[in-house]
Amino acid sequence: MVVAAMIVLVAAASPVTAQIIRGSVFLPDGATPVAGAIVLAQDESGGTAGRVLTSPRGEFTLRLPAAGRYGLTVMRIGFRPTVIPSRIVAAGAVDTVRVVFVGEPVTLSGMNVRDRESCRIRADSGLAVARVWEEARKAMLSSQLSAEGAPLLAEWIEYDRTLDSDARYVRQQKIRTTKNPTNHAFRSAPVALLDTAGYVVTDATGTTYYLPDAEVLLSPSFAASHCFRLQAPPNGGANLIGVAFSPTGNRKDLREIEGTAWVNRETAELKSLEIRYTNLPEMLEAAHPGGSVEFLRLNDGNWLINRWNVRMPQLGVTTRSSGIGAPSGRSTSAAAIRGTQVTGGEVNRVSRRDSTFYEWHGPRLRVLLRSNDSIMRPAGAKFELDGTDYAQRANIDGQVDMSPVLAGRYKAKIHTALMDSLGMPPVEQDVDVRDGSGVDTLRLPRARDLLTTVCPRDSVKNGEGMLRGRVVDEKGGALRQAAVVVTWQTNFAIVGGVRGDQVNHTEKTIGGLSDNAGGWRLCGVPRNIPVVVSVATDAGSAARGATLTEDFGAVDLQLGSNSASGTEKALASIGAAARRSALVEVAVFNLAGAPVPEVTVDVQPPTGPTRTVVTGATGRALIPEIAPGVLKLRARRVGFKEGQVAVTVEGGRNTVPIILGQNAAPALDTMRVVGGRKTVDRLDGFETRRLNRQATRSYTREDIVKRNPTAMWQMITNVPALKIVDSGMVTAQSTRSVASTPNGQMTASGVKDNWVSACYFAVMVDGQMLTPSGNDKAVDLRLLPPPEEVHGLEVFSGPSSIPPQFGGVGVDKWCGLIAVWTR
């Protein structure tokens, strides 16, 4: 549903050459001018031929449409009119008149509001309601007129705001500033249109709500189609008396308006006009659609509408379940109020030349931001009202002072540079803006609360903090996808017996990659412990020492260039060394493929001390400067089975995917990235299974060299559940093999005869199964590669111990498997 308020901005009209009546209006003393009085010219038929306001000097100029006889009436708010005898004005002539205003005061203070209703109100009626309405009409008419002389320059703001469904919070707001030489800022639709179509019109483009201006309210058709009555004042408005109006009974088919004009009892000045739209659907009526107009008298006698608004409900569609027992869980759609649109304006300044007649400063919003942490500084924090253009930075004292601000309840958002850099949502708090409101004190979050919001809780549960910064090149350009690593040493211990001349320690590392802007941040950095922050790229590397003393710290890293001499050559050599070493990225997933954060991974490189890293929210961790070779990783996390994997890394970047399960030992994923290419290393699986003791017996290259067999089958002669049978060919037979006697009894036997039911081990070389020889489904072990070509050997003595990828698991599988892995 599209809603709109029909408000047309207008500017003052240019004067037109015509017959003129020029004069001045004075009080009975003959010397005091009457400013702001209405002078009406009426033709012989009684129709209005012109009207104008008197200037601060009581002067007026009336331009008439034609020559003829005209009468003059001078009206002043709070007084009865003064009528001037008619006069003839010739074509093109200028007639001069001096008027002494002798009108009697109008008394409203003692008026009884129980006066009867009138549906045909007239200015000369003796009814009290007519007298009050006449004073309201004078003010409305004055607001449509201009006095002679330089025009008034009015400045106002127009706004279009959306409130929530309860009309409490400002959800969205747009403001436009306008300046025009006029004393009335809007004009409604033509009287004839409203009289026939009503004040709320729905067509193909949406629904339009029309707000009446003075021209409409003063029209004869409005008076003829509405009934009037006196209205008792609202609470706190004892000095007011109201004229309420409502549509006559014959306009029930039109969407009409009803309302009240509130007049000051003492001065007879019109203060405001409230309207409500009627004959609307019941749902819309519940949202109280309507509007208001406020009037202001300037000290030069001019009147203006200084504030106006129209409230329009917005409809939306909601889906509701039919409830328990409804067939197929059926739901229904229904229209509902989803918000209230408010369109209006407020005049903030009226002037003529260098004189200011009115200035509105509006409600003032003052906020004091406070913080308990030195790192969360209020100075410079951005304060904004959600959905609006209102925004301001706090000053050095943490103060925010906005004026003018349209009255209403807003959701304030406060965020600091630190919060923005961490991607943390702003702090939100409700604020009420109204005249005379005090200072709101808003507290920024504690640094620790901020830290636990942006970091996994386990990574900072022991008082750790966060380091962050940027990585740039020598020209200050951002470096993206640069590996940033924080390293520190802990668990120091003196070893070496009596001498105690050796110190052991554990090196811990956390790492991450810089974003597109070169920014990085790492959680879990210990406080008050020296750390080294380093970055390695193909262009070079850089490192800085740091000690984190608060919850947050910042370290920026800048790489040098690779040009010719001195330090630059040294940086180039460091860069070359970084390219020769490996950067290992560990990515941990569960069996469903989801990343697993907060996994502790102990890393044993081919050379150097063991390092410990913890995966972040994406299940990843970085380990830089690893020597190429076989890397052993132990992964552990509560809820998953602990275990080790082994992987061969090469120079450059290596991504190692690890799969964790609750019941099975960790395993390498199918594919990984080594040195920038996808690969599968056939030996990594062997090393991983050996570290996790998944085979019945495993033999490494070192074991083979130490035993120095002449044939590989000699390495497995003493494996449990396996026996080597040499009967023309060498086979591996399960000890569960049995012999059958002639009488059908089963006895254990190692003798090969016609009654033996033998179960042989399958044999695999580098993942390929060897074909059995003869009819016994046995593989001749003499066909295995020679010992000097073998990297490792595994024996799985039973179908349940054979890894699924090799065809294991199930009673109908082989009796066992011998797997040989060549160098």
pLDDT tens digits, 391-403:
999 999 999 999 8
When pLDDT is averaged across residues 265-275 and rounded to a whole number, the result is: 91
Across 753-769, b (16+ Cβ under 10 Å) vs e yields eeeeebebbbbbbeeee
Contacts of 682 (CB under 8 A, 6+ apart): 766, 767, 821
Q: Which of 651, 666, 691 is the last residue of a domain?
A: 691
Q: What is the pLDDT of residue 300?
A: 76
Residue 32 domain-assigned (yes or no): no
When pLDDT is averaged across residues 566-574 and rounded to a whole number, the result is: 38
Residue 669 domain-assigned (yes or no): yes
When pLDDT is averaged across residues 325-336 and rounded to a whole number, the result is: 49
Give the pLDDT band of residue 678 (cuts 50, 70, 90). low
With a cut of 50, say whether residue 12 has pLDDT above it: no
With a cut of 60, say whether residue 773 has pLDDT above it: yes
Q: What is the pLDDT of residue 249?
A: 85
Contacts of range 796-805, beta carbons closer than 8 Å, 24 or more positions apart = 796/695, 796/696, 797/696, 797/697, 797/719, 797/720, 797/721, 797/722, 797/734, 797/761, 798/696, 798/721, 801/694, 801/695, 801/696, 803/689, 803/694
Q: What is the rounded CA–CA span in Å between residue 723 and residue 654?
A: 42
Q: What angle do CA 525, 527, 528 make, to 5 degrees?
A: 135
Give the pLDDT band of residue 758 (cuts 50, 70, 90). confident
Q: What percent of the chain has pLDDT over 70?
A: 83
With a cut of 60, say whether residue 477 has pLDDT above it: yes
Q: What is the pLDDT of residue 582?
A: 81
Give the pLDDT band of residue 580 (cuts 50, 70, 90). low
When pLDDT is averaged across residues 708-716 and rounded to a whole number, the result is: 90
* Same-domain status, 296 and 159: yes
Q: What is the pLDDT of residue 575?
A: 43
Residue 459 domain-assigned (yes or no): yes
Length of the chain: 823
More confident residue, 375 or 675: 375
Element (H, E) at 792: strand 790-796
Tally of domains within the chain:
5
Lowest mean pLDDT across 234-248, 335-349, 673-687 = 673-687
Cis peptide before 233 (omega within 30 of 0): no
**Any idea what the CATH number is for the domain that residue 706 is in?**
2.170.130.10
* Same-domain status, 186 and 257: yes
Amino acid at 246: S
Q: What is the pLDDT of residue 560?
A: 65
Of the candidates 112, 69, 74, the residue with the CA atom closest to the CA atom of residue 93: 69
Element (H, E) at 260: strand 257-264
Strands 94-100 and 82-89: unpaired
* Same-domain status, 672 and 801: no
Of the candidates 126, 132, 136, 129, the residue with the CA atom closest to the CA atom of residue 115: 129
215 contacts 191 by C-beta, under 8 angstroms:
yes
When pLDDT is averaged across residues 273-287 and rounded to a whole number, the result is: 87
Q: What is the rounded CA–CA span in Å between residue 54 and residue 303?
A: 12
Residue 117 domain-assigned (yes or no): no
With a cut of 60, say whether residue 123 has pLDDT above it: no
Residue 54 domain-assigned (yes or no): no
Give the pLDDT band of residue 555 (cuts 50, 70, 90). very high
Residue 543 domain-assigned (yes or no): yes
Burial class (CB in 10 A: 0-12, 13-18, 19+), 95: middle
**Any idea what the CATH number is for the domain that residue 622 is in?**
2.60.40.1120
Distances (CA, A) of 59 to 33, 88, 183, 357, 806: 8, 20, 18, 19, 110
Lowest mean pLDDT across 125-129, 522-526, 680-684, 809-813 = 809-813
Q: What is the rounded CA–CA span in Å between residue 189 and residue 38?
A: 24
Contacts of range 770-778, beta carbons closer than 8 Å, 24 or more positions apart = 773/729, 776/731, 778/729, 778/731, 778/732, 778/733
* Same-domain status, 565 and 599: no
Residue 719 domain-assigned (yes or no): yes
**In this predicted model, what pLDDT tens digit does every residue of 501-549 receive, in sequence order?**
555 666 777 888 888 899 998 988 999 999 999 887 766 778 889 999 9
Of the candidates 457, 428, 421, the residue with the CA atom closest to the CA atom of residue 552: 421
Domain limits for position 794: 697-822
Give the pLDDT band of residue 39 (cuts 50, 70, 90). very high
Q: Which of 580, 613, 628 is the last residue of a domain?
A: 580
Block residue for tokens 């002639």:
742
* Same-domain status, 598 and 649: yes
399 contacts 424 by C-beta, under 8 angstroms:
no
**In this predicted model, what pLDDT tens digit does every residue of 413-435 receive, in sequence order?**
999 988 888 888 898 989 999 88
* Same-domain status, 164 and 311: yes
Query: What ranges make up the beta strands (E) of 330-474?
Result: 331-352, 355-359, 365-370, 382-385, 391-393, 399-402, 408-415, 427-433, 439-443, 465-472
**Any idea what the CATH number is for the domain that residue 531 is in?**
2.60.40.10
Q: Report the phi/psi class of residue 491: left, alpha or beta, with left for phi > 0 and alpha for psi in -120 to 50.
A: left
When pLDDT is averaged across residues 274-296 and rounded to a whole number, the result is: 88
When pLDDT is averaged across residues 35-53 and rounded to a whole number, the result is: 90
* Same-domain status, 550 and 609: no
Q: What is the pLDDT of residue 116?
A: 62
* Same-domain status, 220 and 240: yes
Residue 110 domain-assigned (yes or no): no
Q: What is the pLDDT of residue 813?
A: 60
Average pLDDT, the chain: 81
Block residue for tokens 């008197």:
54
With a cut of 90, say whether residue 624 has pLDDT above it: no
Q: What is the rounded CA–CA span in Å between residue 316 and residue 114?
A: 43
With a cut of 80, say whether residue 486 has pLDDT above it: yes
* Same-domain status, 354 and 491: no
Cα Rg, the chain, nearest whole Å: 46
* Same-domain status, 392 and 349: no
The token pair that represents 64 in the structure block = 């008439």
**In this predicted model, what pLDDT tens digit does every residue of 70-118 receive, in sequence order?**
999 999 998 999 999 899 999 989 999 999 998 888 888 777 776 566 7
Q: What is the pLDDT of residue 803?
A: 85
With a cut of 80, say whether residue 324 has pLDDT above it: no
HSE, CB side, 13 Å, CA atoms: give it for residue 180. 16
* Same-domain status, 205 and 348: yes
Lowest mean pLDDT across 60-64, 161-165, 433-437, 759-763 = 433-437
DSSP secondary structure letter of residue 815: S
23 contacts 58 by C-beta, under 8 angstroms:
no
- Dihedral of CA 131/133/134/136: which sign? positive
Q: Which of 394, 419, 448 is the last residue of a domain?
A: 448
* Same-domain status, 284 and 422: no
Q: Of 5-14, 328-337, 770-779, which has the strongest mean pLDDT?
A: 770-779
